[in-house]
Amino acid sequence: MSNLPILPVVLPLAAAIVLLFTRERPRLSRALALVANTITLGVALVLVATVERDGVQVLAFGGWEPPFGIVFAVDMLSALMVLVTMVVSTATLIFACWSLDEARERMFFYALFEFLLMGVNGSFLTGDLFNLFVWFEVLLVSSYALMSLGSTAYQLQETFKYLVINVVSSTLFLVGVAMIYSLTGTLNMADISVKLAAVDDQALKGIVAAIFIVVFSIKAALFPVYSWLPRSYFAPPTVISGLFGGLLTKVGVYALFRVVTLLFSDLDYLGPLLLFIAGATMLLGVLGALSQWDMKRILSYHIVSQIGYMIMGLGLLSPLGLAGGIFYIIHHILVKTALFLVAGAVEKSRGSTSLRRLGGVIEREPALAGLFLLAGLGLAGVPPLSGFVAKLMLIEAGLQGTNYLIVGVSLLVSFLTLFSMMKIYRYAFWCEEGLPAGEAPGYRARLVSIAVLVALGIALGLGAQTAMPYARIAAEQLLDPSAYVAAVLRGTQ
């Protein structure tokens, strides 16, 4: 039994505790946070390689064998999610070190950042349903503090709404956990999958499935419970919006992938239901984006729209569909974070992200304009970028399953996404100069952090033959969870 699965949680926790005592020394805090993130990134790489080589990794805490004790269970999906989390969080942290004002840095920003990572990684690694709830709460408490950092009136207003919505979803989560426990007598997800399959009351099982779909739909910002996201993610500093936009909704998406395939795969109507939700989320999200005239608001609505593609992969419930959905998650985390950081860099130099006030950015910052164009084209799915590869997989899977309507919606939304990206490029970067450029120290560091994410997105598309096998392994493990269940219930590899 290896202790490797606990390190992506322990390292951010240790860093966060130390950073609580260094808040008055921003330079030291930056250095410590960057070192901790870099080490955790290395651990994540080792974790992916270990899962690829040896299969599902399980850590039973306190010597209590599953299903009686708490476990971390790491399959390929979990390992990939931890890896991409550490990649984008490290790039975002570099951006934050050279963009946040010292006042916000001293408000425990770096400690809260590491606590958030601890919660995100814990959510991806846990094999216990109640502890999934606990890790959600850890990341949510950190996100409440980060969202309100600076305490402007608008931030506090939107943070309060965000808090209320998540309290409601968390309460429903606990109701679902209680019902699962009453049906199976266990909270270990592998054990639940075995015992839930033997439950004869399909109506009650369907109610439990519906509760979890509602809970994770709220957290992932899916139709019809997505309206909270665009306003909430507009409120905090852009670097925090970028971290949230890249990561937080994906924890809800991950949870849907996990519970649907592991616990409720025998409910035949879930596939069509998820496809309907995916299509509506795609379409309404992109229509919301088209109506906006602010970079951050457009990108926030596109978070909603792009989540629909991921759920499309889950709803198809085929090897290619799930692999496409997983590939899309990784692509979107990289590209969406990069786009938000571009918006943050523009805001830092021009003081606004309003398209009606911007213009001419390409003249003074051509590299930034080029990075936005590459990331925007990737988001829209222009070949040979990563978005094209992910969408091609999903479209092919949809056609194989004769799901022509969702395929048509996905193609339409791709064109509308491209239109909205070109709208930003035209008004913010290409038109005659609007707001004058101001002094913005740290420009090169911010540019490097964005360039790394854009380069990884490009590499993911150009190197799809290398990256795709990992997504396929993750999809196969989801569709046939027998190896996951066996590894967990025997407690060792």
Residue 346 forms part of a structural domain = yes
**136 contacts: CB under 8 Å, gap ≥ 6:** 119, 123, 170, 173, 219, 251
- pLDDT tens digits, 42-62: 999 999 999 999 999 999 998
How confident is the model at residue 492, as a pLDDT? 39
Residue 399 forms part of a structural domain = yes
pTM: 0.95
Residue 324 forms part of a structural domain = yes
Averaged over 163-180, what is the pLDDT? Answer: 95
Structurally, the chain folds into a number of domains equal to: 1
- pLDDT tens digits, 312-348: 999 999 999 999 999 999 999 999 999 999 999 998 8
Amino acid at 205: K
Nearest-Å Rg of the Cα atoms of the chain is: 21
- Which of 66-70, 83-87, 213-217, 488-492 comes out lowest in average pLDDT? 488-492
Averaged over 469-490, what is the pLDDT? Answer: 93
How confident is the model at residue 440, as a pLDDT? 63
226: phi then psi, degrees, rounded to nearest 5: -110, -10
Residue 246 has pLDDT above 90, yes or no: no
Residue 198 forms part of a structural domain = no
- pLDDT tens digits, 318-328: 999 999 999 99
Residue 192 forms part of a structural domain = no
Rounded Cα distance between 418 and 439, Å, is 32
Residue 141 forms part of a structural domain = no
441: phi then psi, degrees, rounded to nearest 5: -55, 150
What band does 493 get if pLDDT is binned at 50, 70 and 90?
A: very low
Rounded Cα distance between 346 and 365, Å, is 9
How confident is the model at residue 491, as a pLDDT? 46
The two tokens of residue 61 are 């805490």
- pLDDT tens digits, 95-110: 999 888 888 889 899 9
Are the CB atoms for 257 and 321 separated by under 8 Å? no
Q: What is the mean pLDDT of the chain?
A: 92
Residue 188 forms part of a structural domain = no
Rounded Cα distance between 493 and 485, Å, is 11
Question: In terms of pLDDT, which residue wins out, 216 or 62?
Answer: 216
Rounded Cα distance between 187 and 127, Å, is 9
- Which of 62-76, 208-222, 290-304, 464-478 comes out lowest in average pLDDT? 62-76
Rounded Cα distance between 431 and 423, Å, is 11
Range of the domain at 446: 289-462
Maximal CA-CA distance, the chain = 68
Residue 379 forms part of a structural domain = yes
Are the CB atoms for 322 and 403 separated by under 8 Å? no
How confident is the model at residue 175, as a pLDDT? 96
Amino acid at 465: Q
